[in-house]
Amino acid sequence: MSVRLPPLNDDSPPLPLLVTGVAGVAGYNALAYFSSRYPGQVVGIRQADNWPLRGPNIVACDAEDHSGLLRLFDAWQFRSVLDCAGNCALRACELDSRLAWRTNVEGLVNLASIVVERDVRLVHLSIDLVFAGREGGGYREHDPTDPVTVYGKTMVAAEQVLADWAPRSCTLRISLPMGVSFNGHAGAIDWIQSRFKKGRPATLYFDEIRTPTYTDCLNELFECLLASDLAGVYHAGGPRRLSLYEIAQIVNRVGGYDPALLMGCPRREAGPIPPRAGDVTLDSSKLVAALGRQPFTPWPYDDALMPTHRQWHFDRTGWTGSPELLAQVLYRNPRRSASEQRRA
């Protein structure tokens, strides 16, 4: 079967577009991107109790509210959906597995039950934490899932829902999306930076290893896949492997924060809740082959921003970090920004 894959930004997705889970980093940045490109054709939904998250095209609608979701589909006649929904708060999911199931699985069941009855393109986001971690990481799509957290287990269940009931959909397993969050502490960068800004220590793990991506790159990938008929599970991790500690080193040094505020430890020294995954780095070669190109600029974009040892963030020789610089090179992809300026 041939698969239609348009070049990045050449084809628009079927419109109108629904973006779910706009309280999360991936959904929040995707909503801003698509709203700018297709004014009046994009709607984002958030949980009804998340009242601080407001905007002209943001609707309060719990994904597990089937009748409310159905009314929204009837009103807008959506032709594509980017599903970024999910409760990724690891500790909260461990302490309330029922809430995790309702948000991460029941919401998708409702969404899928509506989508399969209509001509709607669905791209769903899953996560690298469907794996426990192993030496060397490098997980491929065919590797068996073995999550250690309730969050990961519910995301595996959600993947199975789509495999069984919406096989024409596309599931992307992402890692850490690097971009701004609406509340200033939901994302990896935001949480780490919020600690440093307040002069509070942050403890990150030496041996939890991820493959982060700029949200700028993810947005263009979402647009391409929504406009395509690519189906099944694909890994969408960036080309750099970084521990959570190394990510915090980068945030600390680029942001110009006190290096003494960063602490590190192995996972085994963490508390039992939540359990921590190990090396869950993703091998995204299947996606690269399908696209015929590498969709991700490494995060961070510059090799000079990569830590070389555990005290690297203390070295400020010839270096002046600041929150403004952090916003320019960690929240945004400078290479993409320069390309956009040239096109303009």
Contact 114, 77 (CB under 8 A): no
The backbone torsions φ and ψ at residue 107, rounded to the nearest 5 degrees and listed phi first, read -60, -40
In tens, the pLDDT along 269-301 reads 887 778 999 999 999 999 999 999 999 999 999
What size, in residues, is the chain? 344
In tens, the pLDDT along 296-317 reads 999 999 999 999 999 999 999 9
Contact 20, 45 (CB under 8 A): yes
Contact 128, 210 (CB under 8 A): yes
Take residue 81 and report the two structure tokens written for it: 């959906």
For residue 175, the number of C-alpha atoms closer than 13 Å in the C-beta half-sphere is: 35
* Mean pLDDT, rounded, for 103-109: 92
Q: What percent of the chain has pLDDT over 90?
A: 78
Question: Looking at the domain assignment, is residue 282 inside a domain?
Answer: yes
Take residue 234 and report the two structure tokens written for it: 């694909």
Question: Looking at the domain assignment, is residue 139 inside a domain?
Answer: yes
Find the distance separating the first CA and the last CA of the chain, reported in whole Å. Answer: 38
Domain hosting 60: range is 17-245+271-343
Q: How confident is the model at residue 53 (pLDDT cuts 50, 70, 90)?
A: confident
Question: Looking at the domain assignment, is residue 251 inside a domain?
Answer: no
Is residue 50 pLDDT above 90, yes or no?
A: no
Helix, strand, or coil (residue 74): helix
Q: Which residues have C-beta within 8 Å of that of residue 160, sequence separation ≥ 6?
A: none
Q: How confident is the model at residue 1 (pLDDT cuts 50, 70, 90)?
A: very low
Q: How confident is the model at residue 40 (pLDDT cuts 50, 70, 90)?
A: very high
CA 134 from chain center: how many Å?
21
Helix, strand, or coil (residue 264): strand
Q: How confident is the model at residue 243 (pLDDT cuts 50, 70, 90)?
A: very high
Domain count for the chain = 1
Looking up tokens 């700018």 gives 36
Contact 19, 84 (CB under 8 A): yes
Please name every residue paired with 82 in a beta bridge, in sequence order, or none if there are none.
19, 123
Question: Looking at the domain assignment, is residue 250 inside a domain?
Answer: no
* Mean pLDDT, rounded, for 326-335: 95
State the greatest distance between any 2 C-alpha atoms of the chain, in Å, as a whole number: 61
Question: Looking at the domain assignment, is residue 264 inside a domain?
Answer: no
Question: Looking at the domain assignment, is residue 93 inside a domain?
Answer: yes
What does pLDDT average to over the chain? 92
Q: Which of 63-67, 119-123, 240-244 has the lowest average pLDDT?
A: 63-67
The backbone torsions φ and ψ at residue 264, rounded to the nearest 5 degrees and listed phi first, read -135, 155
Q: How is the beta sheet containing 121-127 ordered, strand by strand?
A: 58-60, 42-46, 17-20, 80-83, 121-127, 170-174, 232-236
Question: Looking at the domain assignment, is residue 256 inside a domain?
Answer: no
pLDDT at 20: 95
CA 70/CA 117 separation, integer angstroms = 11
Residue 191: other Cβ atoms inside 10 A: 15
Question: Looking at the domain assignment, is residue 165 inside a domain?
Answer: yes
**CATH number (domain holding residue 33):** 3.40.50.720
pLDDT at 51: 76
* Residue (of 147, 140, 166) closest to 234 by Cα position: 140
What Å distances lie between residue 252 and 182, 188, 325, CA to CA?
A: 21, 12, 11
Q: Is 109 exposed, middle or buried (0-12, 13-18, 19+ CB in 10 A)?
A: middle
Is residue 250 pLDDT above 90, yes or no?
A: yes
